Chain A
Amino acid sequence: MGWEYVYNLYSYLGIVSAIVAFVLIAYLCVRYRARSGSTLTPTNPKTRENRDANWKGPIIVYILMAIVLVTVASQSFATYNAFSRVPSSPTTIHINVVGHQFAWTFIYANGFVSEDIAYVPANSIVVFNVTSRDVYHQFGIPYFRVKTDAIPGRASPVWIQTTDPGNYTVQCFELCGAGHATMIGTLVVEDPATFNQWYASTGTTSSGAGT
């Protein structure tokens, strides 16, 4: 029930709906094209009827679209409800993220501060508490399909479930000034043992790394 599931559901139903609409339009265009010698002209008495109060077609479209939309919306709500609850786990890592022109500051629970690079363990839950200290930014990690606004004076949380070790892009998704395009950080997912060793060594120092 992840993001891809909902995206694919929207895609399938969207493509089917679009094809139905296109086929209908194309069929009507071909079926009712003006033919040479056609007796159907704008002044033909056959066309002089009142179509204003035609309800059957609109109601059918209403019902069909409502069915599609209720389906996708209900799936959105269900997945969103799951997503808005952070799964409890003893190894959850909390990181405060402060966006500023034009970098991300990651602040760990032990006070360790890192600029533009965040180290997290593999196969665990990581909660980012995102805010900003100057303008409107948006904190996004495309690989994990998460994003949240970084607004001065407000904190918004977002969480990910890390998987394999590796480097993932953290990028700003809201125009925030001249350096917007290069406001890119890195999320380094490490083997849990390596991470724990590293994290323990940061407890005593509070100096930044990689600034």
Chain B
Amino acid sequence: MSVEDRLDAIEKRLGKIEKAVGVRRKTGASWLKSWLLTTDHKQVGILYFVTAFYFLFLGGILALLMRTQLASPQNTLLTSAAYNQAVSMHGLIMVLWFLSPLGAAFANYFVPLQIGAKDVAFPRFNAFSYWMYVFGGIVALTGFFVPGGAASAGWTNYAPLSSKIFLPGGGETLIALGLLMLWGSLTMGSVNLIATILSMRAPGMTWIKVPTFTWFTLVTQLMLLWAVPSIFSGTLALIVDRSLGSLFFVSSGGSSVLWDNMWWFFGHPEVYVVILPGLGAAAEIISVFSGRPLYAKKAIILSLVFGMLPFSFAIYGHHMFLTGINALEREIFTMNTEINTIPSGMIVICFAATMIGGAVKFKTPMLMALGSIATFVIGGVTGVFDSSLFLDVQLRGTYQVVSHFHYIMVGTAEFALFGAIYYWMPRWTGRMYNEAIGKLHFILSFIFFNIIFFPMTFLLDMPRRIYTYAPATGWGTLNYIETIGAWGFGLAQILLLYLMIEMATFGKPAGKNPWGVSSPEWTGDVESYVKNYPAVYSTESHALDGGASAHAATPLNSSPIIISAGLAMAFIGLVTSLPLLLVGIVVGVWGVAAWFKDDLYGLFKVPDEPPGEKWPFNHLSHVKVGVWLALAGEMILFTAIIGSYLFIRENVPIWPPPVAIHNIRLATFNTLLLFSSGMTAFLALYSIRNGNRNGFLGWIGATFALAASFLSIKIIEWFQLLTSNPPFTIASGLPGSTYYFMTGIHAVHIIVGLAFMGFLITKGLKGGFSKTNYDAVTYFALYWAFVDIVWVFLFPLLYLM
């Protein structure tokens, strides 16, 4: 009996489990179930889309409250506490829960269609990303209902204002927990989309033929993959500070500047994460409505990959000009920022030059795209002011900056994404919008947008985030005008809502390809796209038969929503009530167990990977590409953590020698145990590769025992330190905080490894691995090697230095 047969038999026997874990074929599931349990990229994309607009509504209400408060001097609509919550939550919601997820919605829906992939690389993780995003948002919003209110330390959550001493309420903890879930969502999403684009392109879809929107998405997701781990570790440290009393952001050794670094290393790339999906869509829109191929696509892509991608990180220090960093650093960050303006400017000009020789039709998507690049010019110019280390001495913290980043975020990103809605939504729903109302929506939005933000450019003295100001300042008139603009802009969005409902329900049928586009997401015909490239505008092959129906529906799965809901319950419970915390943990563990169970019995089946373009990863499966990407993210996480540790060591003059605290002999022995487990893990891999199943079980069992011993000795070590005299605890000083934080995160990785090994052993005992089928063992060996390598750094840093 072959392994496959045996698994089939198991699968048949366990039909009951199939029912219990909610794995069903798409057909026959109820409407609600098909949305809640979906792993299909198109459905997940639509879920992202709808949810993003829910958050836009919330963020917009907060914006209108703030603008109304500021309409006249000494207005009393909002108290200062309420205003601080509004300003903080408005920023967080709009940037992280509206703009970037809206880009992700289009990416989810259209990237697989554009490159001819059947789905994204990891459909279940894709649904998991979405639910983590939703439940992260729910955790963050719960802040409005706890004593003390929602987060109120600004969207940047600057330390030490965000610490428990200054904001004791639950809101700040909840936003940190919500952000933690969001970081998880973003990381999974980026690994997923990058692996999809790298290794699941249809035959002939070489890099230059990859449509522009997919290119921009790839760069966006690479930025996220490298930016998020830094703030993930920062957020985790903030949570540990607030719940366990560590001292990262309340003592002068870490504090403000450490958070500044961690936040902005994420925060600046995040700006590009917000605008690039929109610009990618704008490129396609301008090309389609001019009837011309994109001008200088190669130069644009090179600028993105070698300009914006690295420079979005290399400029983050311009947010810290006044923190006392030295003059050379300021000059470097100024220079980098101004250099980074060049690819942005070039992209705008190339977009405009696409119209040369064309026949430009000014439909609503085109107007939105042109509005987007026009506001990008203004936002870019005002941004150059802020990049100057000298002008920043006056401009920092003023409404000039508010104007600048709203030109980028609302102007460039939102207008482009609005354009994408009018351009692509007929593809989802098959119905058109009313062109006249669409144009009216653009005109009103564009005029009111400029009425809000153009006057702000001249409020050089008015500080950001103040809830009131004196009449004598003379800021009243401009603020009054801005408030009128804000209400106009807000009300104009009713037109958008109407048109979206029209496209979803009663609009005129759009036909298969209303714009006459030939890129594959419209025609469903990747083959003729890649053959005809670059003369992509042929009308011969617009058949949709290969489109929606050709993408086989991926199965439903309930684990993503259960795990995310459990985590959200646990996080809310952490702040509000212990029973909820416990229920959440049980639900979460249940979800994880269901996930592993599906894998164990092969219940979650996605279509096999078709042959396609994979350069430069010709010899790797898409799963392995994903594993390497995830490890790259992990590597940055630990780099950020170790970097923070070194930063703290440099800033704390007196650091107790580790010999005086730690039991070095025990720790060395423990290190040897861990390194031995690394060896046995690879022996397990070699055994199964040679078809030796018993050898595999023996070695993986030995690895499990060694890892469990390592963890046990670690716990004994913690216990000894906690009961020593004087006790060495997480709250007893920065040495304690860093030690427990770093060994704790490493221990969590060990626990994940133990769970992984439990899965491997169970599957191995059932005969689930063979000479030809041992991929999961390879991924485990890679992961375990990584966990060992991390310890190579942590051990000397924590115990010997």
Query: Contact residues of A with B, CB < 8 Å?
Result: 3, 6-7, 10, 14-15, 17-18, 21-22, 24-25, 28-29, 32-35, 38, 40-44, 46-55, 57-58, 61-62, 65-66, 69, 72-73, 76-77, 79-81, 83-84, 101, 134-136, 138, 140, 142, 145-149, 151-156, 158, 171-182
Contacts and interface: CB of A to CB of B under 8 A. Distances in A.
Contact of A53 (B298, B346, B373): B298
B359 A177 contact: no
B342 A69 contact: yes
Nearest to B160: A135
Contact of A54 (B296, B382, B390): B296
Contacts of A80: 327, 330-331, 389-390
B359 A152 contact: no
A79 B330 CA distance: 13
B727 interface: no
B160 A152 contact: yes
A181 B467 CA distance: 6
B166 A134 contact: yes
Given A17-B377, A57-B299, A177-B161, 6 more contacts: A15-B381, A65-B341, A73-B388, A80-B330, A175-B161, A175-B464
Contacts of A57: 295-296, 299, 349-350, 353
Contact of A178 (B81, B330, B361, B516): B81
Nearest to A181: B466
A182 B465 CA distance: 11
A18 B377 contact: yes
Interface stretch (B121-129, B151-159, B656-664): B151-159
26 contacts: A10-B384, A10-B391, A21-B348, A21-B349, A21-B377, A34-B359, A40-B358, A41-B359, A43-B539, A47-B291, A48-B534, A58-B349, A66-B342, A83-B393, A101-B166, A135-B160, A145-B393, A146-B393, A147-B393, A151-B323, A152-B256, A153-B252, A153-B255, A171-B463, A175-B87, A180-B465
Contacts of B465: 175, 180
Contact of B324 (A25, A40, A156): A156
B616 interface: no
A28 B468 contact: no
B342 A7 contact: no
B632 to A, nearest CB: 29
B385 interface: yes
A102 B537 CA distance: 63
Contacts of A154: 252, 256-257, 323-324
Contacts of B231: none
B255 A72 contact: no
B717 to A, nearest CB: 31
A175 B378 CA distance: 26
A81 to B, nearest CB: 8
A67 B159 CA distance: 39
Contacts of A6: 388, 390-391
B322 A149 contact: yes
B47 interface: no
B160 A136 contact: yes
Nearest to A178: B80
Contact of B460 (A21, A38, A142): A142
Contacts of B469: 181
Contacts of A47: 291-293, 357-358, 537
Nearest to B335: A73
B789 interface: no
Contacts of A73: 334-335, 338, 388
Contacts of A52: 208, 293-294, 296-298, 534
Contacts of B377: 17-18, 21-22
Nearest to B209: A52
Contacts of A18: 377-378, 381
Interface in B305-358: 322-324, 327, 330-331, 334-335, 338-339, 341-342, 345-346, 348-350, 352-353, 355-358
B381 A14 contact: yes
B334 A76 contact: yes
Which has the most chain A C-beta neighbours within 10 Å: B80, B208, B349, B378?
A: B349
Nearest to A29: B360
B117 to A, nearest CB: 23
A10 B534 contact: no
B538 A25 contact: no
A41 B390 CA distance: 50
A72 B388 contact: yes
Interface in B721-762: none
A135 B338 CA distance: 31
Given A42-B291, A57-B349, A147 B322 contact: yes
B566 to A, nearest CB: 34
Contacts of A158: 393
Contacts of B166: 101, 134-135, 177
Contacts of A51: 292-297, 534
Contacts of A72: 338, 384, 388
B397 interface: yes
A172 B154 CA distance: 14
Interface string B649-667: 0000000000000000000
A147 B397 contact: yes
B291 A44 contact: yes
Contacts of A181: 80, 83, 463, 466-469
The 10 A-B pairs at the shortest CB distance, nearest first, are namely A153-B252, A173-B397, A42-B291, A48-B535, A181-B466, A58-B299, A14-B381, A142-B461, A34-B359, A40-B359
A34 B299 contact: no
B362 interface: yes
A33 B360 CA distance: 4
A76 to B, nearest CB: 4
A166 B396 CA distance: 25
Nearest to B153: A175
A79 B390 contact: yes
B349 A14 contact: no
B291 A54 contact: no
B357 A32 contact: yes
A10 B392 CA distance: 12
A83 B342 CA distance: 27
Contacts of A50: 293, 534
A134 B291 CA distance: 60
